[in-house]
């Protein structure tokens, strides 16, 4: 993936640096939302018993995650690509968040999403029990669908692919808050695009289920800005101005959270900009 022209994260913060053992100590909180296991030697050997250098691979993968948390998204992707497919989760999270928040060119965004989808599908083929291989396929398919026309997304069967991947991710990792959030948004966006009747009959979309899934994510990650932000989005997609106060309240909760990494900072800033705009 070409990353040389990627925009820089504009909010560098020493608190987002997780050098040395600080990464391991903060890992459970940093990854409460995606349930990604810490990439130590044991994890590498489990994923790739034939790995020639488990210790070196673990160190390189940990550095890619350090770059992600600090907002060095291009460096995270380049580091992940050097490691190989075993680093699919950090490559897909870094590239997806970068495209979502910092890339301004729509064609480049679509290219990033497509490449991430291919990477996730390759990871699913190799590690079918890896929850984040399925989750990031769903995440990137969702962002891809938002970047193309509704007609094209429906024609390509994107909705069914997203549902399939989310179901797989949640079966493998029932506490995967980001997948619960994505599931809630799935219901809300389908209903927003095609209506309750067609959405329910064709895609199994249900407003109550969508909100329940978003609330489940909030139970697992009450301090994650994205969980509050997307709950607010789901409320607005489903009810519009009728529940605007609740939607804004969710955004206010997101905006009030102190971020612990670059992605959270972008989520918080997005909420603040919306409320101030």
pLDDT of 240 above 90: yes
What is the average pLDDT across 229-240?
A: 97
Quick one: DSSP state of residue 105? -
Residue 235 lies in a domain: no
pLDDT of 273 above 90: yes
Q: What is the pLDDT of residue 168?
A: 98
Residue 54 lies in a domain: yes
What is the average pLDDT across 136-144?
A: 96
Residue 191 lies in a domain: no
Q: What is the pLDDT of residue 57?
A: 98
Residue 176 backbone class (left: φ over 0; alpha: ψ -120 to 50; beta: rest): beta
With bands split at pLDDT 50, 70 and 90, how would you rate the model's confidence at 1?
confident
Residue 255 lies in a domain: no
Residue 217 lies in a domain: no
Q: Among all chains, which residue has been given the structure tokens 């009450």?
A: 222
Q: What is the pLDDT of residue 63?
A: 98
Residue 144 lies in a domain: no
Which range marks the domain in which residue 105 is found? 1-127
pLDDT of 53 above 90: yes
Q: What is the pLDDT of residue 242?
A: 96
Angle at 137 between CA 255 and CA 143, to 5 degrees: 50
The total number of structural domains that make up the chain: 1
Residue 65 lies in a domain: yes
What is the average pLDDT across 19-23?
A: 97
Largest CA distance in the chain: 58
With bands split at pLDDT 50, 70 and 90, how would you rate the model's confidence at 119?
very high
Residue 234 lies in a domain: no
Residue 39, both tokens: 């990439």
Is 245:230 a contact under the CB 8 Å cutoff?
Answer: no
pLDDT of 185 above 80: yes
Quick one: DSSP state of residue 7? P
What is the per-residue pLDDT across 94-107, written as a single tens digit (0 to 9) for each? 999 999 999 999 99
- Closest C-alpha among 57, 16, 64 to residue 40: 57
Alpha helices in the chain (DSSP H): 21-30, 41-47, 54-70, 73-83, 88-101, 106-126, 131-147, 150-155, 158-172, 177-194, 196-203, 207-220, 225-239, 244-255, 262-276
Q: What is the pLDDT of residue 148?
A: 85
Is 112:96 a contact under the CB 8 Å cutoff?
Answer: yes
Query: Residue 56 and residue 47: Cα distance in Å, rounded?
Result: 14
Q: What is the pLDDT of residue 272?
A: 97
With bands split at pLDDT 50, 70 and 90, how would you rate the model's confidence at 202?
confident
């Amino acid at each position: 993936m070409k990353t040389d022209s990627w925009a820089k994260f504009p909010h560098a913060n020493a608190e987002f640096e997780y050098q040395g053992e600080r990464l391991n100590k903060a890992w459970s909180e940093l990854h409460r939302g995606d349930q990604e296991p810490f990439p130590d030697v044991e994890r590498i050997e489990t994923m790739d018993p034939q790995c020639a250098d488990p210790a070196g691979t673990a160190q390189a993968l940990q550095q890619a995650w350090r770059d992600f948390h600090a907002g060095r998204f291009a460096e995270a992707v380049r580091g992940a690509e050097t490691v190989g497919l075993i680093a699919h989760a950090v490559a897909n999270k870094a590239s997806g968040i970068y495209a979502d928040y910092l890339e301004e060119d729509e064609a480049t965004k679509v290219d990033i999403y497509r490449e991430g989808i291919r990477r996730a599908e390759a990871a699913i083929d190799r590690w079918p029990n890896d929850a984040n291989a399925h989750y990031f396929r769903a995440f990137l398919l969702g962002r891809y669908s938002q970047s193309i026309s509704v007609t094209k997304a429906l024609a390509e069967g994107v909705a069914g692919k997203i549902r399939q991947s989310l179901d797989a991710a949640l079966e493998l990792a029932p506490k995967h808050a980001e997948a619960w959030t994505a599931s809630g948004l799935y219901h809300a966006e389908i209903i927003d695009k095609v209506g309750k009747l067609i959405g329910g009959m064709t895609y199994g979309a249900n407003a109550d289920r969508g909100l329940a899934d978003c609330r489940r994510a909030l139970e697992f990650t009450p301090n994650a800005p994205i969980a509050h932000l997307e709950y607010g989005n789901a409320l607005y997609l489903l009810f519009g101005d009728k529940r605007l106060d609740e939607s804004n309240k969710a955004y206010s909760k997101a905006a009030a959270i102190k971020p612990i990494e670059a992605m959270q900072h972008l989520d918080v800033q997005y909420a603040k900009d919306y409320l101030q705009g």
